[in-house]
Chain A
């Protein structure tokens, strides 16, 4: 088991470098010169060159990449060209907002999705099943930002229950979490329901009934336990969805998170910030997948034993 964890963590290293190369090259294909934003009207070509040299933009791409990487590995993410602050500082400021939002949205959609999926699977084919699944699916088909806007309209503008935007206090988290969570809920509910229906038909469930175990115990302690394995797998694979949702929703609710930072920096062509925030998002995706794999190993003794 320990060997598996080490191997799995070590596997992240090449992936990390591959991702960093992709991000780096994409960034350098971006049009628009960030130096342009810095120059005052009428500044001389010499000033321009000095600035370009200062940010290392005149050196060959490979060298720039190596420099960036070696700095990243020592914890230095560079300096924002337009926002003129250390990138690490900008990111560190934004990250808590995104983490709290993403983490809560993940919890929310997992819990709600599993509950809905379990209920739907237990009363399969009934109006409850069709109504719940229909409702959840409908919710997941709506554009994230539009749900966000609607929620603001209903809860903030009309009812005045929650703040319209910003990031003060837990109240400001409610609407964004709900907005992102809806999409994930549908995914989790669907996987839970299918996996549970699948498991319900297994022989061991029949035997559990024959042992006289209460149906509720069977559903929760046995069937759901099996169903959670694919749920974890899917969630780990699609953790990016939650992050992607966070990007849009942060903008809608004007939360100063990583998503807002990314969009702002993209518009300003602030390379180092875009690079760093993408790298962080990619790392979050990779860590999510890792967590999923490890969780799966913890949940499934067959999988655990196949690793040795």
Chain B
């Protein structure tokens, strides 16, 4: 409080409620806890459930949720909970790996474009803006069509679809930092471009970019699920959250739980990721730096 008053003078006094910060940590705790639960569930899936994810038992099909099958069974008689646990493996790993790769490429490209500027920068930005104005789902659909459905296709599709966002963000961060005194001092002292980039610029824009990456992972899970829903994601029998719903609206009459639970799982995970990212943003105090536009 007193610091804020000193900094902005009397009129600019901003009242920051302490309660909100406390809530933020609770928020972060709940969200983080849930994410941990999902990851643990994916890892220990074989221990946690007595069923197999790929053995069909048609006599057991369309069982509504019960004690034996807490989330019911699907149209082939497989336990929905089991498939969600195993599906988490595919959905989470594909999203996380794809975003990580995309981050590495995006940061390199964005840092280079922002640091060197000039014609290279303009070229990169034309391409980036072009992809950026295109919806991710369309970019991903095209790429999956080229590479073919499956895990690899989904991986590349997500990777490329988010490349523009990370490039833009890193570029704007680097451009803002480039003119800072210490960077110019380093250049004046004869430091190499690589040294300045890797030692000064990239570490300083790591925070916002990593949080953006985390938030994008949430979107990537949705994208992966959407591709899966179209039947273009991980191919059967490999379970994935989106794939579980690919039978679509036809199932709504006979077994809505088959659609309900995987979707709920995606929704909760994505919300948890966003909440956690939000807490990180607040804690790191970098909310303003995350504006891409």
Contact = CB atoms under 8 A, between A and B. Distances in A.
Query: Does chain A touch chain B in the assembled complex, meaning CB atoms less than 8 Å apart?
Result: yes
A244 B252 contact: no
Interface stretch (A68-76, A146-154, A214-222, A296-304): A146-154
B105 interface: no
Nearest to B144: A266
B252 A282 contact: no
A141 B271 CA distance: 6
A192 to B, nearest CB: 14
Contacts of A125: 17
B218 A26 contact: no
Nearest to A282: B134
Contacts of A29: 146
B248 A252 contact: yes
Contacts of A295: none
A125 B142 CA distance: 43
Interface in A232-286: 233-234, 237, 239-241, 243-245, 247-248, 251-252, 254, 262-263, 266, 274, 278, 281-282, 285-286
B274 A143 contact: no
Given A29-B146, A146-B259, A285-B133, A251 B138 contact: no
Most buried by A among B135, B218, B248: B135
B124 to A, nearest CB: 14
A192 B205 CA distance: 27
Contacts of A286: 133
Contacts of A262: 141
A252 B266 contact: no
A143 B218 contact: no
Contacts of B1: none
- Kindly state the interface size class of chain A when it binds its partner: 35 or more
Contact of A247 (B133, B141, B271, B274): B141
A237 B137 contact: no
A149 B137 contact: no
Contacts, number: 110
Contact of A31 (B146, B245, B266): B146
Contacts of A19: 130
A152 B267 contact: no
A52 interface: no
A138 B146 CA distance: 33
Interface residues of B, number: 37
A30 interface: yes
A141 B218 contact: yes
Interface string B259-293: 11001001100110010000000000000000001
A165 B137 contact: no
Contacts of B218: 141
B34 interface: no
Given A138-B271, A149-B259, A263 B252 contact: no
B85 interface: no
Nearest to B20: A125
B142 A153 contact: no
Interface stretch (B75-83, B177-185, B196-204, B222-230): B222-230
Nearest to A240: B135
A157 B253 contact: yes
Contacts of A137: 274
Nearest to B136: A244
A266 B145 contact: yes
B249 interface: yes
A289 interface: yes
Contacts of B126: 18
Contacts of A145: 225-226, 229, 245
Nearest to A144: B226
Nearest to B224: A143
B130 A149 contact: no
B293 A149 contact: no
6 contacts: A145-B245, A146-B225, A234-B293, A247-B135, A263-B141, A263-B230
Interface of B: 17, 126, 130, 132-138, 141-142, 145-146, 148, 218, 222, 225-226, 229-230, 242, 245, 248-249, 252-253, 256, 259-260, 263, 266-267, 270-271, 274, 293
